[in-house]
Amino acid sequence: MNPVPLRCFLFCFALQTVRWHIELQPWASPTPSLNYEALRFLKYISTSQISCEHMNLNSLRGYSETAKKPWSICLDERFSLIHRIRSKQCRLYSLGLGNDDNQFEISMANSGCEVHRFDPSIKSAHVQEGRHLWYHRLSIDWRDPNPAIAAHKLHSNTKKLGTVLNEFGHQKIDVLKADVESAEWKILENLILEDVVEQIGQLVFEVHIHWPGFEVSGNDSAVVRYWYSLLRELELKDFRLFHTYKDLSKPQMFLKKEAFNASSCYTLSWVNTRWK
Ligand SMILES: *[C@@H]1O[C@H](CO)[C@@H](O)[C@H](O)[C@H]1NC(C)=O
Ligand SMILES: *[C@@H]1O[C@H](CO)[C@@H](O)[C@H](O)[C@H]1NC(C)=O
């Protein structure tokens, strides 16, 4: 079940700089306890670390329409995104799984951003839907497929984000949006371990906490500590949370229990304050 030795066998020899795992934060209490881990983590994901005044694309065009999801990006002048949008140089990558709500993608494309939507459920390999909007039948994963398995599968359309960036010849992503139904933890870990996050200006992630997520192991306290540690790694890389949204329309569950007044789903937005 533990994927680490296998992954390292596959790439650690080739890439000397790759870390094997993230730095775990100390436990929240002297004796590990789910209660303390949960309180620390939930407080963390509910607290903005930096203020952002302009968060809505619609505010740019002077009309307001309520978007279905709070996919918030920071358009304050002190961050580069707004300047990149004005000069039509911005790029959005959106990772999803057959979810039809493309309003955010469309409005980014209408603002002149180059939008790439990655979704394994679409019919053709690549579709261009407008001047600035592309769909790719690809699922972004935290590892590249094992070549032995890939050779046997007709549609092995699974790639790491770093691999896609290299293949597309893209150096930067202004905004990475991810709504990947619990694969976000391992994807985030991969972006941190391979330093791909440094190529990203803002992150907007839906995080799911009703179960540990794909390939996240350990008892409940260890899982929550791991989630928290991942987010602290982002902070260490100068990412700051500027918006957090608790989804009250989803089941109010935390690790399979109704507890801590938590929702199963939060949408978190970070800005990379180091990013130019
Ligand atoms: C959970 O697992 C960790 C090891 O990862 C252990 O130290 C801890 O005591 C366990 N906690 C509980 C509450 O079982
Ligand atoms: C539970 O969460 C809701 C929504 O975030 C909040 O309005 C309410 O005050 C919370 N209740 C408690 C007891 O903390």
Q: Is 62 helix (H, G, I), strand (E, B) or coil?
A: coil
d(CA 111, CA 89): 10
Q: Report residues whose beta carbon is within 6 angstroms of any ligand 2 atom.
A: 246, 261
- Provide DSSP, 102-115: -HHHHHHHHTT-EE
**The dihedral formed by the CA atoms of 264, 265, 266 and 267, expressed in degrees to the nearest 10:** 170
Q: In whole angstroms, give the CA distance from residue 78 to residue 52.
A: 10
Taking CA atoms only, the protein residue closest to ligand 1 atom 4 is 222
Nearest CA to ligand 2 atom 5: 246
The one-digit pLDDT tens for each residue of the chain (276 residues) are: 444 445 545 554 555 566 789 999 999 999 999 999 999 999 999 999 999 999 976 655 544 455 445 799 999 999 999 999 999 999 999 999 877 778 899 999 999 999 999 998 888 888 888 889 999 999 898 887 766 665 555 556 889 999 999 999 999 999 999 999 999 999 999 999 999 999 999 999 999 999 999 999 999 999 999 999 999 999 999 999 999 999 999 999 999 999 999 999 999 999 999 987
Domains of the chain by start residue, with CATH: 22-59+68-272 (3.40.50)
Cβ atoms of 178 and 206 within 8 Å: the answer is yes
- Which residue's alpha carbon is nearest to atom 6 within ligand 2? 261
Residue of 261, 263, 264, 266 best suited for mutating to test ligand 2, as the one with most atoms within 8 Å of CB: 261
Q: How far is the CA of 221 from the centre of ligand 1 (A)?
A: 6
Measured CA angle at 66 (ends 197, 271), to 5 deg: 20
